[in-house]
Every structure is written in structure tokens, then in C-alpha cells.
A and B are shown apart, each in its own frame.
Chain A
Amino acid sequence: MQVVVALWLLNGVTAALAPVTPAQSVSGQAYGALVRGPSGTQQLALAVLPAVAPTDGAMADGEADALSVPGTITTEALTGNTSGSIGDAAAAQSVATVFNVNLLNGLITATNLTATVSSTSNGARATSNALGSTFGNLVVNGVPMTSGDGAIAPNTRVNLPGVGYVVLNEQRPTGDGVRASGLTVNLIHVVLQSLTGGGCTLLGCLPGVLTTTGEIIVGSASSTAAM
């Protein structure tokens, strides 16, 4: 009896802590670029979908002429837009575009980036995809990754010695695939790292520890849909 009561209580606590997802909902976000470091965060061309009521729809967009953080990132025009609606199905879609990207003094360059995601749910099947997400003439550490407008396999990681690493076409799915689905795509996600500690003494050597010191995300789009 005590066990049953304990389980009942635990179940109640778990239910209370579980996130509550509205029965029908859509969300979306897109931005051109984000730079986060010790000196703060910059985010340009941000668009966040406002709350959408059942049987309604909405859109948000952002744009910027350029971004320049010397030694870190320069780009030309950036745009983001996100839209969503709830009708027979719930649907959300987001798009981010960036022109002439140059990261870390030419370590990563691209003529243009396009991040496109969409999510739909009809209550019985929920899907998301990143169709249309491409990199224009992407070069990483001197190595051409795309020629013209091309795709990169999801979650492609490339180490950047002395800098950290970059994940190309980073994709983060969410949802159960039945009622809800979501997807975030970050076309270029640079994780900046530095080696701290470590060294050798008479007693032996200790390895250093890689510490994340910042990140750069260029071309980010996300969407979720639940019904």
C-alpha cells in the first residue's frame, strides 16, 4: 500500500513538472547570425513567430544590411522569416538567408547560405524537414565543401585546429512524430574553444582541458507544429 501511494505521489509530481504543450500549436524562429562570446551576444535579422490561435496564422521577419565583428564575422545582407498557421493541420516554416559570409579571417567562407525548415502535424502524423537548406561555395579551412549551391550532410563536424570545431548543417529534431514535430537547423555552428590548464611537472604530465569560450551561428531556422 505504501508503495502504491508513493508511486501515485511520484506520478503526480512528474506530471506537474512535465512541460504542457497546447493541443494545437506552432512556433518558429529564424535569424541570420548570432555571435556569443565573453563580450556579449549579437543576433541579427531575428524573426520570432508570435502566438498563433487555432484557425489563425501569423508571420514575423527581420533583416539587416550587414554584420561586422572584426576578426570574427563579416556578412552582407541577412534576412529571417517565420510563419505558421493552424487549420486542418498545424504548420510552421522558417527561412534564414545570409550573403557573403566570412568567419574568423577567412577560415570559413560562403557566398550565400539558405536555411529552410518546415513542420506539419495533422494529429496523426507529424513531420519536419530541412529541404532547401544549402551552402553557396562553402570553403572550410581552405577545403571547398560545396561548388555552387549545394547541400551538406546533416551534422557534419570539422575540427578547426587552434580554434575549436564547426558543425555544418546542424540539425536538432524534436517531437514524437505522431502529434508533434520540430526541427532546428544551424547551417554553420562554430564552437570556439581554448585549452586551459595542463602541463608537466617532475611527477608527470596532466592534460589540458578544452573550454568553450564562445560560438558563432550563421543561418538558423527552426519550426515546430503540434496538433
Chain B
Amino acid sequence: MFRQINLGLAPCLVAATLFAWGCDRPATPAGPKPSFSDGTGSCAAGARFTGGGRIDPPVAGKTTFGFHVDARDWCSSTGPINGQVQTVNHPTKTLIHSLTIDDFVSIEDPDFGRCAFFRGTARVKEGNGSWVQEPFGAVACEKDEPGSSPGLGPDRYGISLPDEHRETGVTELTGGNIQAH
């Protein structure tokens, strides 16, 4: 199981939100959680995010991903959210592929940049096991171009499978790029 509970490097809203998703707990008082409840959550940082690459969170290990989410209709009139997500956690050989994206919020974060939170259902396969359907949540943050450079970041990505408390944490890219557009 990939698991990342230590979010010491993520002190603000983004971390609080992913933590809340992954552990099914309310956000900390200092970190207001974006509202998904009424379907008209904020899209302050844009309605479309696209990206792909790699993160290496210390506990979850190498994770590669690609995604495109288009929430223009959602942000304007609670219409459908288009797009898809593919993520692979390498140590556990877990493949995650979205089936639906049902919620979307984007915010400007002082530390993380323009961040999108989206969640829905995914088919998930671990190792040579069978596909199972379960909810997922993802966070993608664009801080600058290019999204990765020798070293770490500045863009970030994270994914969680809350049913079994599996999550990567919001982690700086070690390759690839994320764009809010």
C-alpha cells in the first residue's frame, strides 16, 4: 500500500485538503477546506488543468501520472467535468485510472501556486490483482514553468485512495509539468 501521512512540507490549505481527503477527517481550522457540497465551488485559479510526470514521495515511492481535467461547464453551471487521470504507483505496482470526475475546485495558494482539487471514481489494480472501483482524489498545482527542474518542483501533484487511506501526499515533481490554463 502506498501511504504518505507526513505532510510536514505542506503547511497550508493544499495539504489540509488532501489530508482531509486521504484520512477522511475535517480540515484543520487554519486550513479552510474547499467546498464541494453544492457543486459550485470556487474555480478561482482556473477551470482547466493539464499535466503529467513523476513524483517521488518518501513513503509512497515513485509515482508517475498524466491527467487533463476540464471543468469549465462545472464552474459556470455545474455541468459535467471532462477529463481523465492515469497514475501508477511503482513500489506497489498500483494502476489508477479515472472513470468519472465528479468534483472540482481550484484555488490560488501562496506556497503551492494555482491548485486544482478533483475527485471521482477510478478503477484500481494492484499488482496482478483484479480491477476494483473506488473513489479517488487528486491535487495538481502549477507554480512555474517548466514544472520540473534539476532538483525538485516547482509544480506538485498528489493522489489519494481514501477507502484504504492510501495517498502520496502533495509532492514536488521530479519530472514533467503541470499547467493551469
Name A's B-contacting residues (CB within 8 A).
55-59, 61, 63, 76-77, 79, 81-89, 91, 93-95, 97, 99, 112, 114, 116, 118, 120, 122, 127, 129-133, 136, 149
Contact of A118 with B53 at beta-carbon distance under 8 Å, contacts A131-B150, A131-B174 already known: yes
* Cα of A77 to Cα of B148 in the assembled complex, Å: 26
* Cα of A95 to Cα of B52 in the assembled complex, Å: 7
Closest approach, in angstroms, between the C-beta of B49 and any C-beta of chain A?
8
A95 touches B64 (CB 8 A): yes
Stretch at the interface among B17-25, B31-39, B81-89, B162-170: B81-89
- Which single residue of chain A is at the shortest CB-CB distance from B180? A87
What would be 28 A-B contacts, judged by CB atoms less than 8 Å apart? A55-B181, A57-B50, A58-B50, A59-B84, A61-B84, A63-B97, A76-B93, A79-B64, A79-B88, A81-B65, A82-B66, A83-B51, A83-B52, A85-B48, A85-B181, A91-B50, A91-B146, A93-B52, A93-B53, A93-B66, A95-B52, A95-B54, A120-B177, A122-B145, A129-B148, A131-B148, A132-B53, A132-B173
| Chain B contacts for A58, CB-based, 8 A | 50, 68
Q: Which of B50, B90, B128 is close to A112, meaning CB atoms less than 8 Å apart?
A: B90
Interface size on B, residues (CB 8 A): 37
Kindly supply a per-residue 1/0 record for chain B positions 51-93, scoring 1 wherever the CB is within 8 Å of any chain A CB and 0 otherwise. 1111000000010111110100000000000011010101001
Q: Is the interface of A mostly helix, strand, loop or mixed?
A: strand
B149 on the A face (CB < 8 A):
yes
Name B's A-contacting residues (CB within 8 A).
48-54, 62, 64-68, 70, 83-84, 86, 88, 90, 93, 95, 97, 128, 145-150, 173-177, 179-181
* Cα of A169 to Cα of B134 in the assembled complex, Å: 36
A95 touches B181 (CB 8 A): no
B86 touches A85 (CB 8 A): no
Closest approach, in angstroms, between the C-beta of B83 and any C-beta of chain A?
7
* Cα of A72 to Cα of B68 in the assembled complex, Å: 35
B90 touches A81 (CB 8 A): no
| Chain B contacts for A81, CB-based, 8 A | 52, 65-66, 86
| Chain B contacts for A84, CB-based, 8 A | 50
Contact of A89 with B66 at beta-carbon distance under 8 Å, contacts A59-B83, A120-B145 already known: no
Contact of A59 with B50 at beta-carbon distance under 8 Å, contacts A77-B95, A118-B146 already known: yes
Q: Which of B54, B70, B146 is close to A116, meaning CB atoms less than 8 Å apart?
A: B54
